[in-house]
């Protein structure tokens, strides 16, 4: 009997914690002020509620902070191995932090880990100063990048998300910058960390994003919470080639933000899949090369073509390949060779450019002469 009572209590607790957030009619019941679910590959919106409402987003702000860090690395402005020195101002941030001391030094990789896992406000400002010289300069760059990405309901006042008047974003804009961030493969291992350390193992880190631990195939991205913002999360997951991003802003409880995010992701994976009629880097043909050092050259796709479709549908695309029968050398790798025209129900829906995968130099006069001799039988064989 005692065992039965214990089992019943466990089931009851789980039912309260893991609340069902599906409402009648297929909607998602949540206390959150704003939510959105998008496909990361296409940006297509699969579910939304007040997606453009301007709201405080707390530490979800750091999605843009990390994006600018990754772009600085990709551009060669900084490297993961660079040493970052914490200023007195960076160390004064308070809130979530890794307790940097003025003058303390860490490599860029550890600072990014501190931002991604521990949501370090101090590390965020230290990186801002390292990249742009000041937090103000970095925040200006954040706002410029937001405009470039088409984030129409965002204004950053700081780089860490501490509550300040005029600092806001929207679920749609958070999804846009999250989509851009996870394009950078170097950031993904940091976003997926559940527990780790800094300072040679002396300082422990624990991620507040429970999706990493409790949602299959999750990509963490970022949580945030303050008195004004309440509980927020931008989370993603990948299954069968489909990556979805769920954003939840202004939830009343931490449980609700994660349950809502999981419900959004579950809805997306249950109802949609990826159709890829043209794959990235797909080899399409070999074209004959005239007057070249090679007889033929490979032709491949660039980014390919990806489309979100209802689960079970294949997209129904017809491919028409437009390529010349031959090409005259020289041929340069990366030059456009032709295109694939995609048709659906006889109507053109997209053109996918094709590129030469190799460089084929033009034959020199000497090599042409030797080839002629070989054709005439004057060789050493």
Q: How much is the pLDDT for 368?
A: 60
Condensed to tens digits (0 to 9), the pLDDT of residues 254-303 reads: 999 999 999 999 999 999 998 889 999 999 999 999 999 999 999 999 98
Among candidate residues 239, 274, 309, the one where a domain is terminated: 274
Q: How many domains is the chain built from?
A: 2
- Report the largest interatomic distance among the alpha carbons of the chain, rounded to a whole angstrom: 99
Do residues 263 and 304 share a domain? no
Do residues 121 and 42 share a domain? yes
The pair of three-digit structure tokens given for residue 90, joined into one six-digit string: 């960076």
Q: What is the CATH number of the domain that holds 100?
A: 3.40.710.10
Identify the three-state secondary structure at position 225.
Answer: strand
Q: The domain containing residue 317 runs over which residues? A: 279-367
| CA distances to 33, 38, 51, 145, 176 from 151, in Å | 19, 15, 12, 9, 7
Q: How much is the pLDDT for 275?
A: 87
- Residue at 377 is within a domain: no
Beta-strand relationship, 34-39 and 347-356: unpaired
Task: Given the residues 34, 87, 96, 119, select the one marked as catalytic.
Answer: 119
Condensed to tens digits (0 to 9), the pLDDT of residues 119-162 reads: 999 999 999 999 999 999 999 999 999 999 999 999 999 999 99
Identify the three-state secondary structure at position 75.
Answer: coil
Task: Given the residues 33, 40, 49, 62, select the one marked as catalytic.
Answer: 62
pLDDT > 70: percent of the chain:
88
Task: Given the residues 34, 59, 87, 178, select the one marked as catalytic.
Answer: 59
Contact 24, 14 (CB under 8 A): no
Residue 240 CB neighbours (<10 A) = 8
Catalytic site includes residue 296: no
pLDDT, averaged per 10 consecutive residues of the chain (381 residues), comes to 39 37 63 97 95 98 98 98 98 95 98 98 98 98 98 98 97 98 97 96 95 95 97 97 96 97 97 91 95 94 89 83 96 96 92 96 72 57 49
Catalytic site includes residue 119: yes
Q: Measured between alpha carbons, how far is 80 from 189 in angstroms, rounded to an integer?
A: 13
């Amino acid at each position: 009997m005692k065992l039965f009572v214990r089992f019943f209590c466990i089931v009851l607790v789980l039912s309260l914690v893991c609340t069902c957030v599906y409402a009648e009619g297929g909607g998602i019941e949540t206390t959150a002020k704003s939510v959105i679910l998008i496909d990361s590959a296409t940006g297509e919106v699969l579910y939304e509620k007040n997606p453009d409402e301007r709201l405080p987003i707390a530490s979800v702000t750091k999605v843009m902070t990390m994006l600018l860090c990754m772009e600085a690395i990709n551009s060669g402005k900084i490297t993961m191995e660079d040493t970052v020195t914490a200023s007195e101002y960076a160390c004064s941030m308070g809130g979530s932090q890794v307790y940097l001391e003025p003058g303390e030094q860490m490599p860029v990789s550890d600072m990014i880990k501190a931002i991604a896992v521990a949501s370090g406000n101090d590390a965020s400002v230290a990186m801002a100063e390292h990249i742009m010289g000041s937090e103000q300069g970095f925040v200006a760059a954040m706002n410029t990048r937001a405009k470039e990405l088409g984030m129409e309901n965002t204004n950053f006042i700081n780089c860490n998300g501490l509550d300040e008047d005029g600092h806001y974003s929207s679920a749609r804009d958070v999804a846009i910058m999250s989509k851009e961030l996870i394009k950078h493969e170097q950031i993904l291992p940091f976003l997926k960390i559940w527990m780790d350390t800094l300072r040679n193992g002396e300082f422990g880190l624990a991620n507040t994003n429970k999706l990493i631990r409790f949602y299959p195939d999750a990509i963490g991205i970022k949580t945030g919470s303050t008195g004004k913002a309440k509980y927020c999360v931008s989370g993603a997951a990948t299954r069968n080639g489909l990556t979805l991003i769920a954003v939840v802003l202004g939830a009343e409880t931490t449980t609700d933000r994660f349950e809502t995010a999981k419900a959004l992701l579950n809805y997306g994976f249950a109802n949609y899949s990826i159709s890829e009629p043209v794959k990235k880097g797909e080899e399409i043909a070999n074209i004959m090369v005239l007057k070249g050092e090679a007889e033929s050259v490979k032709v491949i796709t660039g980014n390919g073509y990806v489309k979100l479709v209802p689960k079970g549908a294949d997209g129904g695309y017809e491919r028409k390949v437009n390529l010349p029968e031959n090409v005259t050398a020289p041929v340069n790798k990366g030059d456009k060779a032709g295109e694939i025209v995609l048709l659906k129900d006889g109507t053109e829906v997209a053109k996918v450019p094709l590129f030469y995968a190799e460089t084929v130099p033009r034959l020199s006069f000497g090599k042409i002469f030797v080839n002629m001799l070989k054709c005439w039988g004057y060789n050493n064989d």
